[in-house]
Amino acid sequence: MRQIILDTETTGLNARTGDRIIEIGCVELVNRRLTGNNLHFYVNPERDSDPGALAVHGLTTEFLSDKPKFAEVANEILDFIQGADLIIHNAPFDIGFLDAELALLGKPPLKEHCGEVIDTLVQAKQIFPGKRNSLDALCDRFGISNAHRTLHGALLDSELLAEVYLAMTRGQESLVIDMLGETAATGDVAAPRVQIETLALPVIAATDEELAAHDAVLDDLDKSVKGTSVWRTQPAPEEARPADAQIA
C-alpha cells in the first residue's frame, strides 16, 4: 500500500484569479511506514505573492526567481504520485491549484494520475466535531512536536501531516500491516515471513446488551454532529452482523 502525503504553498488563495504554486512537498508511506523517499520543489510562479500569503510562507519573489517553473517539474511530480493514494489536509485547496497548473500545460487533472484522495481535514472534523482541526491543532492534540515550525513549508507540513495521519488512523486495521513492516525492516537478517492466513486472531462476540450500548453511543454521536458519524459511514455487510454480531 503506497500513500503520498502532499502539501503545497501558493502565492495566494485563489487559483482561478491567477495565484500559482510556489512549493510542493511529498512524503512517501509504504504500508504505513515512512520510507524517506520524499519529493520537494520550490517553484518560480512568475509573479509576486500576496502580502498575506508571504507572511505565512516567507518565500520571497527574489528567492524563487531562479527556481524551476512548474512546467519543468510537472512530469517528475506526476511520476512520483502515479497510482498512489494521496493524503492531503484540506484537499480541495491543493488539488484546485494542481489542477490549474496541469490545465495550463494541457495535462489531465490530478485525480487521473493517482488513486484515492484522503482529506485529513474531513477525517478530523468527523472524529473531533466542533473542535479546531488545523494542522497545528492536530499536532497539539496528538502530542506531535511542531516547535521548529515558525513558517509554513510544504515539505515540513507534509512530514507533520504524516505523523498526524498515522496517529489519527492507527487502529486494528493496521495491526497486520505493522507486523509485516517489522518483518521487512530486518534488512539482511533472515526472518520468517508472516503468513496472514496462519494468524489466529481471537473473535469475541458482543452480547445483546453491548450491542445496544454501542448503538446508543453512535446515536449520541450522530446527534452531536447533526448527521452521520464516521463510524456509520461504512456499515458492516449484512452477513457480518446477525443477531450475534462480532467485534474482532
Active centre residues (catalytic): 152
What is the spatial distance between Cα 76 and Cα 73, in angstroms, rounded to a whole number?
Answer: 5
In sequence order, what are the residues at sequence separation of 6 or more whose Cβ sits closer than 8 angstroms to the Cβ of residue 171?
none
Q: How many CB atoms lie within 10 A of CB 17?
A: 7
> Which amino acid is it at 133?
N
The four Cα atoms 186, 180, 142, 125 give a dihedral, to 10 degrees, of 150
Angle in degrees, CA 74, 26, 114, rounded to 5: 65
What HEC string does 210-231 produce?
HHHHHHHHHHHHHHHHCCCCHH
